[in-house]
Amino acid sequence: MIVRIAELEIVEEQLKNYLTELNIEARASMEKESGVISIFPMSHKETPSKITIVEIYADKNAYEAHLETPHFKKYKTTTAEMVKSLKLIDMGAVDLESMPLIFEKLK
């Protein structure tokens, strides 16, 4: 699996528009891409213009396929001027065996 944290800061005046586009992209990724396990966006309670997204992909091929989808490309081009900063942090699961239990609990 590929696990990544995306940390973004959004232009405050564009936050509503950004969140609209983000929600469209995240939903499309989850509904249309079998290799996308999670696109989980969150905003910081005290600073809503700071967004953190937990991304989990089945493998490298799923991640690379995600980058080529029309919905992701639209999101990137539409929001380019709304994003002040973007930091991508690759993560490693400490316990790969228990990680799937997160998703089992949601059933």
Q: 86: which strand partners? A: 8
Q: Which domains does the chain have, with CATH numbers?
A: 2-104 (3.30.70.100)
For residue 62, the one-letter residue type is A
User: What's the pLDDT score for residue 54?
Assistant: 96
Strands 50-57 and 36-43: antiparallel
**Other C-beta atoms lying within 10 Å of the C-beta of residue 17:** 14
CA nearest to 33, candidates 57, 55, 1: 57
Instruction: Render pLDDT for 36-86 as a digit per residue (tens, 0 to 9).
Output: 999 999 999 999 999 999 999 999 999 999 999 999 999 999 999 999 999
Two structure tokens written together for 55: 């991304």
Task: Give the integer Cα–Cα distance in Å for 11 and 34.
Answer: 32
